[in-house]
A = this chain, B = another copy of it.
């Protein structure tokens, strides 16, 4: 099958959708993308890495912009091949994220003389376990291919800009007591009752909101689990409250831990897992240019996304793409084709200056 990179990116999106590419089975689509880039974008250096395809200019520009999109989808749900209905294109992967892939591939082939050097990364296995993620493999095998001054991931954002991400920290707070038969409860000491002040501190907690690079981050401190109890006639001797702290990226993990320890001062507390946040990095020149060109008001990204991989490399990164994130992974997945056209126009304006 032949992909026409230079034609209408809406048609290109439908063509990408019609090559099934569930995570781990991206081979046929990667072959098609690689062949199209080699044939229709001879100004680009092309690299194949597993079922990822990379391409880049070598124009010696002052800055380099990286456009990245994953080729894989979640499992098909009776929603292939794609189907047009007025302005809507239906099908698995339309929003998440072959619309973004189509925009990037079309620009790769048609913007011959960009004002920044360009790197394209079409990668595999974003929808599955982190250790299978194609970006991780590229980072290990071809680290020089990820150098850039700004990374744009084409995840569906309805055409808005989402930047940075919050960190996450999970702790277990344990209260202890003494077991006793509940018929003689005064011989015991109830660990579940002892958890009352832990819950009181959670209900009384005022979550911080902070603005960074124009993005507002809203923190949260939430019990995600509580468990205690031995039997229906026993005063429990242990109760564990699991608390998840989602923190703005101006705190690092150590500072987040310190904060949570202060909130639960006096209680037994163990950290079970954590992941750092990512600063939006929108003050970087290439990012400012991007925002100016798109006219978008950036918003904080709350979940952990591949943006964080670039942030960890010191590269400002943001999500920007056509499609509705709320439709991702649904049977009803579709994309408004006008968003594909609009995103193509905005990005072209940014790249051509």
| A residues apposed to B, CB below 8 Å | 166, 168, 170, 181-186, 188, 190, 192-193, 195-196, 199-200, 202-203, 207, 218, 220, 222-236, 239, 241-242, 244, 246, 273, 302-304
Contacts and interface: CB of A to CB of B under 8 A. Distances in A.
Contacts of A231: 224
Q: Chain A's interface: helix, strand, loop or mixed, by majority?
A: mixed
Contact of A239 (B193, B207, B226, B232): B226
B242 A181 contact: no
- Copy number of this protein in the oligomer? 2
16 contacts: A168-B183, A168-B233, A182-B244, A182-B246, A183-B220, A183-B302, A183-B304, A184-B218, A185-B220, A185-B222, A186-B220, A190-B223, A192-B241, A195-B226, A196-B203, A225-B232
B182 A224 contact: yes
Nearest to A225: B229
A196 B234 CA distance: 21
A169 B229 CA distance: 17
Contacts of A230: 224
A241 B229 CA distance: 10
A196 B190 CA distance: 15
